[in-house]
Amino acid sequence: MTNLSRDGIHLKLDNMKFVDVISNSSDGKRTSLQSGDILISITAELGKIGWIPEGFGEAYINQHTALVRLNKIKVYSKYIAYLLASNQMNKVINRLNDSGAKSGLNLSTIGKIPVSVAPLPEQKKIAKILSTWDKAIITTEQLIANSQQQKKALMQQLLTGKKCLAGFSGEWLRYSQVGALPSYNASDLATIKTIIPSEDLEQQQIAQVLSSADQEIETLQQKLNFLKKEKKALMQQLLTGKRRVKVDEVIE
């Protein structure tokens, strides 16, 4: 279930588990995934959704996940995945809890989840629109992760003297600030030592570099929050029929 998302349909691939399953066995056939399959968490965190894209490769589900395989002639599975991932449908799914205080859904209950859908061509258009927003969100998340890694690398280099800023000699001094932490006594602090640039200007510029990195991360985070908020509002409109889309051509 850690691969499923609460606010989207794309699987998180950084925590995949390897399993020993024979693909042509009864268990393998029953639990194997195909492109277009929808996954729903049915224990603990109910209603987390995943969607299997083309070319995903060999994969299987466990007992914590329900597999929904739809008739492709009647409905577009990616649209249905977005529909199930919406706030409104998430509330519906959680109200179907079969076990009272202990969260759990059975497969027959999953099969009875009521959904209202748009015509098939409109389903495909809506899914394409929401996919565009998802791509922007995923790209921004990757930029944030990269920026955080770059900042971490900068800190390891600039705060240890391994890398010096241009224009400075690189001479660093050992430093101990006795009494800086009132809860510790001087003998304890005497063992806490660090090194700092000998020039105040270099210290200031290192702080400025790291501050700029923080600002970049904060700007990207604000952009990510905006994209998620706008996508959520768009889902509320498109998936409930409050806002209809024009279908100029068939979207495969």
Instruction: Encode pLDDT of 12-56 as tens digits.
Output: 776 666 666 666 666 667 778 889 999 998 887 888 899 999 888
**Range 183-188 average pLDDT:** 59
Residue 210: pLDDT band with limits 50, 70, 90: very high
Q: Indicate the DSSP class of residue 14.
A: G
- Residue showing tokens 């060999």: 58
Say which amino acid occupies 221.
Answer: Q
pTM: 0.79
Which residues share a beta bridge with 195?
A: 174
- Residue showing tokens 């015509």: 119
CB 113 within 8 A of CB 93: yes
Nearby residues of 173 by Cβ (< 8 Å), 6 or more positions away: 195, 196, 197, 198
Q: Please give the domain boundaries of the chain with CATH numbers for all domains.
A: 13-116 (3.90.220.20), 136-238 (1.10.287)
Residue 225: pLDDT band with limits 50, 70, 90: very high
Distances (CA, A) of 233 to 88, 230, 243: 12, 5, 11
